[in-house]
A and B are shown apart, each in its own frame.
Chain A
Amino acid sequence: EAEVAQSPRYKITEKSQAVAFWCDPISGHATLYWYRQILGQGPELLVQFQDESVVDDSQLPKDRFSAERLKGVDSTLKIQPAELGDSAMYLCASSLSSLSPLHFGNGTRLTVT
């Protein structure tokens, strides 16, 4: 079964450094999501793409976070500079459309020291 690929699986970085996460959605999935999840809590949407366009980034801290999906396929989420409070699991998900169920990757566990 096709999967959403994310890398790296784990990232440890010092505060004030830059960090980037990569996601490759399931082939043909037009909608791509980046979520942040704190341990034991539900996912919090950071940004949603429809093809290469951002359709919702209302919860993205734009002073330090950026996301792109230039060719409407894979996507990168960047944090610069990282802060201690950014430590969390960053999950990428994709779906055929915004009406379809989400398929999640296994996430990137970020630790900021």
Chain B
Amino acid sequence: TQLLEQSPQFLSIQEGENLTVYCNSSSVFSSLQWYRQEPGEGPVLLVTVVTGGEVKKLKRLTFQFGDARKDSSLHITAAQPGDTGLYLCAGDLLDSNYQLIWGAGTKLIIKP
């Protein structure tokens, strides 16, 4: 059983559309990180959220950490082909000795 559930597993949309992907858990996290991974490369950190209810923006990407620090979402506005990739969330479980728990990822394809 995945401690961090990401949904959807796969999303294919047209350029210019908006989308939201989710990272959910029944566990509480000290912090949560979002990474993007392109084929043949390692994941690259996009953002870290640490406070319940926190919202962070990175150009067209908006990240939100749930009030209870059990879930997070990533919203992309006006998606572009360059946003294509595997989006991974990873959480630092509360009282876990800083063990990072990874979701299985959302594979996103933006068609031109």
Contact = CB atoms under 8 A, between A and B. Distances in A.
A56 B44 CA distance: 23
A40 interface: yes
Interface in B64-112: 86, 88, 90, 98-100, 102-105, 107
Contact of B42 (A45, A98, A101, A104): A104
Contacts of A14: none
B108 to A, nearest CB: 12
B48 A101 contact: yes
A101, A103, A109, most chain B CB atoms within 10 A: A101
Contacts of A42: 6, 88, 90, 102-105
Contacts of B103: 42
Q: At the interface, is chain B mostly helix, strand, loop or mixed?
A: strand
A56 B97 CA distance: 10
Contacts of A106: 40-42
A101 B5 CA distance: 20
B52 interface: no
A107 B107 CA distance: 19
Contacts of B33: 101-102
Contacts of A99: 98
Contact of B41 (A40, A101, A103, A107): A107
Q: Indicate the member of B33, B43, B99, B102 with the most A CB atoms within 10 Å.
A: B43
Contacts of B107: 40
B45 interface: yes
A8 interface: no
25 contacts: A4-B42, A40-B107, A41-B104, A41-B105, A42-B102, A42-B104, A42-B105, A43-B88, A43-B102, A45-B102, A56-B99, A91-B42, A91-B43, A93-B42, A98-B98, A101-B48, A102-B33, A102-B43, A102-B100, A104-B43, A105-B42, A106-B41, A106-B42, A107-B40, A107-B41
Interface of A: 4, 40-45, 56, 91, 93, 98-99, 101-107, 109
Given A91-B43, A106-B40, 12 more contacts: A4-B42, A40-B86, A42-B88, A42-B90, A42-B102, A42-B105, A93-B42, A98-B98, A101-B48, A102-B33, A104-B43, A109-B40
